[in-house]
């Protein structure tokens, strides 16, 4: 299981953990935004966002440590057996391109999330409620949300193209 993950494909455990997190995070985020937008449940939204950020941070940190230090980079996970590589030539090149698009979103998302959370914690009153920071928070919140969804979609696409197809 440590070597192959638990989703039944020939990936790695931490890759399967992160892919699962990327799928689960979208409905949780949608719930959090629905709670604040239509139910005005500001405290529930705040708690959910902080828990989501904590879970994401832990999953991504564990994933990076595993991918870089244990496996020595994604190509070693994709081509576990160098004598019979899963991807080579054009196929490897197009996955490399897909990953560089994924990285644009995967790197900007934590930066935007951190900014959204730090500003919200500093400027929104506690318990949370609409305030002069609302306008900027809504803009940052929606950009962060779109960025996370694009991180998720491109990450899942990478997993599908590399391990499932």
Q: Which is nearer to ligand HEM, 42 or 74 (CB)?
A: 42
Nearer to ligand HEM, 72 or 125 (CB): 125
Q: Is 137 in the site for ligand HEM (CB under 6 A)?
A: yes
Q: Binding to ligand HEM (CB under 6 A): which residues in 60-89?
A: none
| Phi, psi for residue 16 in degrees, rounded to 5 | -65, -40
Based on the shown chain and the rule CB under 6 A, indicate whether residue 41 belongs to the binding site for ligand HEM.
no
Where b means 16+ CB within 10 Å and e means fewer, 117-154 reads beebeeebeeebeeeeeeeebeebbeebbebbbbbbeb
Cis peptide before 127 (omega within 30 of 0): yes
Query: Residues 9 to 38: which contact ligand HEM by CB under 6 A?
Result: 33, 36-37
CB contact set of 161 (below 8 Å; sequence gap of 6+): 95, 98
Decide if residue 154 touches ligand HEM (CB under 6 A): no
Binding-site member from 46, 63, 147, 163 for ligand HEM (CB under 6 A): 46
Token pair for 148: 């996370």
- Number of residues in the chain: 165
| 47 vs 126: CA distance, rounded Å | 12
Taking CB atoms, the residue at the shortest distance from ligand HEM is: 141
Pick between residue 36 and residue 95 the one whose CB is nearest to ligand HEM: 36
Annotate each residue in 90-129 with x if it binds ligand HEM (CB under 6 A) or - if it does not, as one string: -----------------------x--xx--xx--x---xx
Q: Which residues bind ligand HEM (CB under 6 A)?
A: 33, 36-37, 42, 45-46, 49-50, 113, 116-117, 120-121, 124, 128-130, 134, 137-138, 141-142, 144-145
């Amino acid at each position: 299981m440590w070597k192959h993950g638990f989703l039944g494909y020939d990936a790695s455990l931490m890759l399967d953990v992160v892919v699962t997190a990327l799928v689960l995070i979208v409905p949780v985020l949608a719930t959090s935004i629905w709670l604040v937008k239509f139910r005005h449940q500001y405290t529930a939204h705040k708690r959910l966002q902080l828990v989501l950020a904590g879970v994401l941070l832990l999953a991504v940190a564990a994933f990076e440590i595993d991918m870089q230090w244990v496996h020595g980079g994604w190509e070693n996970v994709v081509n576990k057996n160098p004598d019979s590589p899963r991807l080579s030539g054009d196929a490897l090149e197009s996955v490399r391109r897909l990953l560089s698009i994924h990285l644009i979103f995967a790197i900007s998302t934590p930066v935007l999330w951190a900014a959204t959370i730090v500003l919200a914690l500093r400027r929104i009153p506690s318990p949370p409620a609409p305030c002069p920071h609302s306008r900027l928070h809504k803009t940052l919140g929606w950009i962060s949300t779109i960025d996370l969804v694009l991180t998720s979609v491109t990450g899942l696409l990478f997993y599908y193209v590399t391990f499932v197809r």
